[in-house]
Amino acid sequence: MELCHGWDARPFRLWSTRRYREDEIRQMCSRVCGPFWLRVEGQLIRVHGEAALGLACGVSAAYHDWIAYNVPEDDGFQKDMAMRELKVEQHMLEPPSSDEESQAEDEE
């Protein structure tokens, strides 16, 4: 089962090394032209309307995640580390405050 787009029913390419949420696939749909289709067992089913497209995106995400069952759940670690690294980088680029300068002089 796969979600497709365009008159030639090109499938969306979903990575097998990650999971997808319904809203991510819906966002992918907003970047391409319709019509949209669900290909099930080689048969194309036309997706009509926004509600049906939302359902098709949810079905596509669920099916993909079932196939990619060995991909670990996102526990937020990568996002947390990226935010921490960004904060450290911003801190390093800031000019030292007067408290930090006086503390550095006291240590000498």
Summarised one tens digit per residue, pLDDT across range 71-83 is: 556 667 777 788 8
Q: Are 57 and 65 in contact (CB under 8 A)?
A: no
CA-based angle 30:35:39, to the nearest 5?
A: 105
Q: What is the pLDDT of residues 53-106, one digit of tens each?
A: 888 888 888 888 777 656 556 667 777 788 888 888 888 888 877 665 556 555
Q: Number of helices and strands (H, E) in the chain?
A: 4, 4
pTM assigned to the model: 0.58
Which amino acid, one-letter code, is at 48?
Answer: H
Tokens of 50: 């926004």
